[in-house]
Amino acid sequence: MTILGLVLAALAALLHVYIFYMESIAWTTPRVRAVFGTSEDEARATKQLAFNQGFYNLFLAIAVLLGIVLLPLGYSVVGLTLVFVGTGSMLAAALVLLLSSPDKRRAAIIQGALPALAIVALVIGLLIG
């Protein structure tokens, strides 16, 4: 179960790297504007905010991936802590999006499903040992 949890955490991290790309690099492109439902003017007006938000997503992904790398190197406590903090923050951000903008339910589910599943699998893996 632990390996499944780490695979799900890695997938969540990769998704968040992609979100970083969309928010920080490709925010004003027609494709990304369509994904986020913004007009060209709205995208230009919010470009700096999206740029900053994208980096939050990147940093969460880096924390999770670093934790995954540290685990087989013998740093179990640090590795698991990074994975849980990263995936927990991803899940919390998805819940904030869901509660603050119910019309963005689909995006919140996409953003939060992998981290939630990773957390559940990791906890089960730790409990059954």
User: pLDDT tens digits, the chain, 129 residues: what are they?
Assistant: 999 999 999 999 999 999 999 999 999 999 999 999 999 999 999 999 999 999 999 999 999 999 999 999 999 999 999 999 999 999 999 999 999 999 999 999 999 999 999 999 999 999 997
DSSP letter assigned to residue 24 = I
Q: CA torsion, points 45, 46, 48, 53, in degrees to nearest 10?
A: 180
Token output for 69:
């790398």
CB count, 10 Å around CB of 115? 29
Q: Which residue has the tokens 């004003």?
A: 28
Token output for 34:
């369509």
Token output for 56:
């939050």
Give the Cα separation of 15 and 124 in Å (integer): 23
- Which amino acid, one-letter code, is at 84? F
Give the Cα separation of 108 and 129 in Å (integer): 31
